[in-house]
A and B are shown apart, each in its own frame.
Chain A
Amino acid sequence: MFGKGASSSKSMEIIGSEKKISVLIVDDDPIIRKIHSALLSKFTKEIQEVKNGKEAVDLCRSGASFDIIFIDKEMPIMNGLEATKELRAMGVNSTIVGVTSCDLSSERNDFIAAGQNQCYEKPLTIEKIKSLLSELNKNN
Chain B
Amino acid sequence: MERSQLLRQVAHQRQTLFDEGLLDEQFVQLEELQDRTNPNFVEEIVTTYYQDTSRLILNIEQELERRPLDYGRLDGYMYQFKGSSTSFGAKKVKAECSLFREYCRAGNGEGCMRTFQQLNREYATLKRKLEAYFQLARQARLTETASRPG
Contact = CB atoms under 8 A, between A and B. Distances in A.
Interface residues of B, number: 31
Interface string B54-92: 000000000000000000000000011011101110000
Contacts, number: 66
A74 to B, nearest CB: 7
B31 A101 contact: no
Contacts of A125: 29
Contacts of B11: 1
B38 to A, nearest CB: 6
Interface in B6-55: 7, 10-11, 14, 26, 28-35, 38, 41-42, 44-45, 48-49, 52
Interface of A: 1-6, 29-32, 34-35, 38-39, 42, 74, 101, 122-123, 125-126
Interface of B: 7, 10-11, 14, 26, 28-35, 38, 41-42, 44-45, 48-49, 52, 79-80, 82-84, 86-88, 137, 140
